[in-house]
Structure 1
Amino acid sequence: MARRALTAAAIAFTATATLLLTACGGSGTGKPDDIKGADTGAGSPSASATAASGSGRPDVSLPRDLRVTFDVTQPSDADHAAALENAKNYVLALNHGITAQDPEDPAYQFYSLGNATKYAKKQIQAWVNDEWTATGTDSYYRARTDDVGSTGGVLVTMCRDQSKFYGKNVKTKKVKYTEPSLDDYQQFRLLMAAPKGAQKTWKVLQIEVQGRVKECRR
C-alpha cells in the first residue's frame, strides 16, 4: 500500500484531526449521514467479523444475510497495519450495532473515541428509530494510510460501494431495493488514534464520509 501525498481536502481534515489528537478528542457531533436503503439515511470478509468475545474484544459478527467485505492490501508498516485493521473493525462494529438494533452496542464503543463514538451511535439510532436493519453486501476497497503530523496518529482512507447494501424493515422483513447510482460510492476518512497509556488499541477518533465520489467507482 503506497503512502501517497495527501490531497488538499485530506490535508484540511488532517489539520483538524491533529488538533483533536493533541486535545485528546473533540466535542462536535455533526449531522448523521444519509444511509442508502434507509429513509434517514450508511476482497473477502474480514476475519474480524467472527472475532470471539473471549479474546477480550467485542463480538462484531453479522447475520448471514449481511456481508461486509474489505478488498485492501495490508501495509508493511506495523502501526499502519494495526490502524487499518481497527478501522475495519469499527466499520464492522457499526454494522453489528445496526443489525443488533442497539445504539449502545459495546462493539463500536470499543473501537472508537470522541466524535467517532457519537457518529456511530447517531447512525445506529437513526436505523433503529425508523425500524430498519441492514442486508446485502457492504464493500470497502482502495484503502491507503497516511501519517498524521507528529501526533503518532494515522489517517485511513477507503472507498465504499453500497450498491448491494439495502435496508430491511425489522417488522415486515421487506427489503428496500434501490437502483445503482453515483450515490452508492463514498469515501471514508478515519482518523486513528495511536494506543496511549491504558489504551492498548488503535481507535477511530474522527470519521468523515464524502458522498457521490466518482473516483470510487469500480
Structure 2
Amino acid sequence: MALLLTGCGGSDASDTKDSDKTADADAGSGSSKPSASATSDDIDRPQIKLPSDVKNVFEGGTTGDPAKDAVLADNERRINSIDEAITVNAKKYPALKFYSKGDALVSAASYIMSFRDENRSFTGTTRYYDREVTLHKAGAASVTYCMDATQTYPKNGTTGKVDRSVKASPSDYVFYNTRLEKNAEGVWQTTTVSSTEAAKSCM
C-alpha cells in the first residue's frame, strides 16, 4: 500500500497507470455542492467548482449518524478539492489546504504537480462507494471506500483533446483507507491516505 491521494477521477497515485486512464470528495458534474452527506453548518468554507465534464458520484451519502455524516461530507469535499486543482486553471486552490494537512497535503500537492508538469488533465465520471466511517477518540476518524475510475479519460491540458481509446482495467478499481482529524473550526481534515489498486474488494 502506498501513500496516495484521492480524486482526479481516480487514484491519487503519483504514478500514471494504463496510459493515464485515470485522470479522489463530493458533488455532481461541475458543481461545488456536496452530496447528501454534506450537511450544512456554520463553517465558512471555500467554494469548490469542478468543470462541467468532471463528475464525482458518491454513494451512501448518509448513515443516520450526524457525526459520521459530517466526516463523510468533508472526505467528499477533499476529493473534489484535489480534482479542482487538477482540472481548473486558477492561481489558488484554497479548498485543498482547507481539507488536507500533514502527509495527505504533501502527497496531494505532489500528485497535482505530476499533472501540471506533464500538462495533463482528465474528464469523465468517477464513482465512490462502499464508504465506511469509524469514529475514534480525541477528534479522529477513519474513512474507507472504493473508487471506480473506469469512466474517466486523460485530457490534454492545452488542447483539451480527450483520449477515449484508453481501456478500463483492474487498476481503475482502488480501495482507500484514510485518517481524518477534526480541527478547531470543526473541519474534518484528512491527514493520511493509503490505497490499493486493482482491489478485488472493490470489483
Bin of the TM-score, shorter chain as denominator length: 0.7 to 0.9
Letter in 2 for 1:204: T
Summarize the Cα distance change of 1:161–1:141 in structure 2 as closer, same or farther, 3 Å threshold. same
User: 1:126, CA displacement in angstroms?
Assistant: 0.5
**After superposition, where does 1:1-218 map in structure 2 within 5 Å?**
32-36=13-17, 39=20, 46=27, 49-51=31-33, 56-101=44-89, 105-148=93-136, 150-177=137-164, 178-195=166-183, 197=184, 199-217=185-203
Contact in 2 for aligned 1:140/1:158 (Cα 8 Å): yes
Letter in 2 for 1:69: V
SS in 1 for 2:47: coil
Contact in 2 for aligned 1:37/1:176 (Cα 8 Å): no
User: 1:145, CA displacement in angstroms?
Assistant: 0.8
Give the number of equivalent residue pairs: 182
Summarize the Cα distance change of 1:173–1:46 in structure 2 as closer, same or farther, 3 Å threshold. closer
User: 1:107, CA displacement in angstroms?
Assistant: 1.3
TM-score, normalised to structure 1's length?
Answer: 0.73
Q: What is the CA–CA distance in structure 1 between the aligned matches of 2:16 and 2:152, rounded to whole Å? A: 10
SS in 1 for 2:192: strand
Q: Which has the higher contact order (CA 8 A, sep 6+)?
A: 2
Contact in 2 for aligned 1:159/1:187 (Cα 8 Å): yes
Q: What is the CA–CA distance in structure 2 between the aligned matches of 1:71 and 1:145, rounded to whole Å? A: 13
User: 1:73, CA displacement in angstroms?
Assistant: 3.8
Contact in 2 for aligned 1:40/1:130 (Cα 8 Å): no
Computing the radius of gyration from Cα coordinates, the structure with the larger value is 1
Letter in 2 for 1:94: I
SS in 1 for 2:141: strand
Q: What RMSD, in angstroms, separates the aligned Cα atoms of the two structures?
A: 2.9
Larger proportion of helix = 1
1:11-46 superposed Cα distances (whole Å, 9 cap, x missing partner): xx9xxxxxxxxxxxxxxxxx953345765975xx72
Letter in 1 for 2:95: A
User: 1:78, CA displacement in angstroms?
Assistant: 2.1
Summarize the Cα distance change of 1:95–1:155 in structure 2 as closer, same or farther, 3 Å threshold. same
Superposition misfits of 4+ residues, deviation over 4 angstroms: 35-42, 101-104
Contact in 1 for aligned 2:127/2:147 (Cα 8 Å): yes
Contact in 2 for aligned 1:140/1:161 (Cα 8 Å): yes
User: 1:105, CA displacement in angstroms?
Assistant: 2.0
Contact in 1 for aligned 2:174/2:199 (Cα 8 Å): yes
Contact in 2 for aligned 1:38/1:132 (Cα 8 Å): no
Structure 2 unmatched ranges of 5 or more: 4-11, 35-42
TM-score, normalised to structure 2's length?
Answer: 0.78
Summarize the Cα distance change of 1:80–1:103 in structure 2 as closer, same or farther, 3 Å threshold. farther
User: 1:104, CA displacement in angstroms?
Assistant: 5.4
